[in-house]
Amino acid sequence: MVLTALNSITVCEDFKSLLEEKLQGVKTKVYLNYPETNLPENFVAISSNGGMVDRGDCAEGVLLIDICVKLLKDKNINNVKLTRILEVLDEVIGENGIRYKNYFFVADNEYNFAFDMDYSLGYSVKSINIFFRVERK
């Protein structure tokens, strides 16, 4: 791989663009990585989950999508909000994945998700791996 070709791969930014419009309806912001200040009530953080593999005519990798939803006052999970955000992700990605620009995104079946709660910040966090393939232009 020619290293300068890496400069044209903006997978996190492109996946963010794909999600932003759809998540506005559920009042959820999308960030690249975690915001450091002024945490909103609900947000999605997108980051790379490892490196990319060069396949010659394409590159493949995994994105980590953290869905962060503010805990209810009684410290329970806001399952209504979490479910609605997951429904939007389902609509965007679909069961068989989605093509967007020169990318293909699909939920990673091997290591699909993890769940955690961050009581110090007051959020429930569901982490989902999204597999991507980017074709060379």
Q: For 88-137, what is each residue's pLDDT tens digit? A: 999 999 889 999 988 999 987 766 677 777 777 789 999 999 999 988 66
Domain containing 14 equals: 3-135
* Structure tokens given for 93: 């990605």
Task: Indicate which CATH number applies to the domain containing 129.
Answer: 3.30.2000.10
Could you tell me the pTM of the whole model? 0.85
Residue 73 carries which DSSP code? T
Taking only the tens place, the pLDDT of each residue in 10-44 is 889 999 999 998 898 888 999 998 888 888 999 99
* Structure tokens given for 119: 């009581």
Residues 134 and 127 sit within 8 Å (Cβ to Cβ): no
